[in-house]
Structure 1
Amino acid sequence: MKTKIYGIPNCGSVKKARTFFEDNHIDYDFHDYKKLGVSQESLEKWCNEFGWENVLNRKGLTWRGLDETVKIEIKDAISAIKLMKDNTSAIKRPVLESDKGNSVGFDEKQYEKLYL
């Protein structure tokens, strides 16, 4: 399985991840979930693997721009997945899937451990 990077192209963390792969000549596929969306199954899988609290990006502009009543309603994986499905920018980026392991967020040391 070729590594798949999920994210949006203008995100700084996604750019760092793509640069890491390109600089190290590692082949990957890029899934732009701003254009292509993200499946319910992928969100459920990521939340099960990493915990919904780690998949939901609470530091980004999308989260900060949400109405407080919406934020208060996010209490579990089901409510977080619904929000992330409707607002893909609320997903922490990048999400990587590969045979060598999956990860969420940019972590160069972890990438080195997995891919080099």
Structure 2
Amino acid sequence: MALTFYWYPNCGTCQKAKKWLNDHQLTYTEIHIVENPPSRDKITEMYQKSGLELKKFFNTSGHKYRELGLKDKMKSATEQELMDLLASDGMLIKRPLLTNGEKVTVGFKADAFEKVWL
């Protein structure tokens, strides 16, 4: 299956992930995560297939996360409310997000990419 690479071009981690993908000659479609954030349904699908906690999908070091006080809200918000937040603003999503429709990685660590994508 084709890879979809959700990224933010100004993000250093995203740039490293893109270089890794190119170095390993993997074909992907890139999507600017802020201009075209994944839909709520797409986020839900990726979350369910990832096996990760939902909070792993949040860019916890981002300005927007802190501005909205999400650290405290994470404890009491429902899964639906958190999905809605993620779908509302691409800057809230940890990046890059990489998926082939079956597998999902959030963020970039070369060893994790090797295990999942090679």
What TM bracket, shorter-length normalisation?
Answer: 0.7 to 0.9
Match for 1:56: what amino acid?
F
Question: Superposition pairs for residues 94-113 of structure 1, below 5 Å?
Answer: 94-98=96-100, 101-113=103-115
Deviating runs (4+, > 6 A) in structure 1? none
- Comparing 89-98 and 35-44, the one that deviates more: 35-44
Is 1:5 the equivalent of 2:14?
no
Corresponding residue pairs, total: 114
Specify the alignment match of 2:23 in structure 1.
23
Q: Secondary structure at the match of 2:29?
A: strand
Could you tell me which amino acid in structure 2 is paired with residue 80 of structure 1?
L
User: Of 33, 56, 59, which aligns to 1:54?
Assistant: 56
- Residues of 2 paired with 1:105 and 1:99: CA distance? 17
Cα root mean square deviation, aligned = 2.0
Please list, as runs of the form range in 1=range in 2, the aligned pairs for 1:22-41 lying within 5 A after superposition: 22-41=22-41
Q: Name the SS of the counterpart of 2:26 in structure 1.
A: coil
Tell me which amino acid in the other structure corresponds to 2:7: G
1:53-74 superposed Cα distances (whole Å, 9 cap, x missing partner): 11112121221222x3x65444
CA shift, 1:100, in A, is 7.3
Task: For residues 36-93 of structure 1, give each alpha carbon's deviation from its aligned partner in whole angstroms, at most 9, with x where no partner exists.
Answer: 2321111112332322111112121221222x3x654442321211111222101011
Q: What amino acid is the match of 1:94?
A: P
TM-score of the pair, normalised by structure 1: 0.84
The change in CA–CA distance for 1:45 and 1:51 in structure 2 (over 3 A counts) is farther
Aligned 8 A contact 1:57 1:90 in 2: yes
Q: Distance in 2 between matches of 1:97 and 1:24?
A: 16
SS at match of 1:4: strand
What secondary structure is seen at the aligned counterpart in 1 of 2:108? Answer: coil
Structure 1 unaligned spans of 5+: none
Alpha carbons 2:36, 2:90 under 8 Å: kept: no
Identity across aligned pairs (percent)? 25
